[in-house]
């Protein structure tokens, strides 16, 4: 298991134990986290699973892949540490990961 902390825009924290192999987006769904809509179901085509990776975790999580880079254009308030949660595969090495959910205007 990898324990992931999801922090809503308003600051509310949720800690979810996620099975390795799932994505950070799937972990959010299991934890019923609001703000990660994942409209395309993980197909990297909607941009609604946008999260900010905590700076302390950026190196371990890695950067965006080329498809993700194109899709994230649909998201709002993109920052250098923005990732699409469906494109981050959970591993034991990500135990303790912290991601923040951006403000959504929808
Ligand atoms: S769920 Fe649609 S891009 Fe991640």
- Would you state the pLDDT for residue 106? 52
- Written as six digits, the tokens of 72 are 């994230």
In the reported structure, the alpha carbon of residue 38 is separated from the centroid of ligand 1 by a whole-number distance in angstroms of 5
> What is the pLDDT at residue 61?
97
Structural domain spans, the chain: 2-100
Share in percent of the chain as helix, strand, coil (round to 5): 25, 25, 50
Query: 40, 58 in Cβ contact below 8 A?
Result: no
The count of other CB atoms within 10 Å of the CB of residue 87 is 21
Residue 84 alpha carbon, nearest atom of ligand 1: 4
**Ligand 1 site, CB within 6 A:** 25, 38-40, 42-49, 71, 84, 86
SS (H, E, C) 25-46: HHHHHHCCCCCCCCCCCCCCCC
- For residue 84, the CA-to-ligand 1 centroid distance in Å is 6
CATH architecture, domain defined by 2-100: Roll (3.10)
Mean residue pLDDT across the chain? 95
pLDDT in tens, 55-104: 999 999 999 999 999 999 888 899 999 999 999 999 999 999 999 999 97
Which residue's CA is the closest to the ligand 1 atom numbered 3?
A: 44
């Amino acid at each position: 298991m990898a324990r992931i902390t999801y922090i809503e825009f308003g600051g509310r924290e949720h800690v979810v134990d996620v099975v390795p192999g799932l994505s950070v987006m799937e972990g959010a769904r299991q934890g019923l986290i609001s703000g990660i809509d994942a409209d395309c179901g993980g197909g990297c085509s909607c941009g609604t699973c946008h999260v900010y990776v905590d700076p302390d975790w950026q190196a371990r999580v890695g950067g965006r892949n080329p498809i993700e880079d194109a899709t994230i254009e649909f998201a709002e308030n993109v920052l250098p540490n923005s990732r699409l949660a469906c494109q981050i595969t959970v591993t034991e090495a990500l135990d303790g990961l912290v991601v923040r959910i951006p403000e959504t205007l929808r």
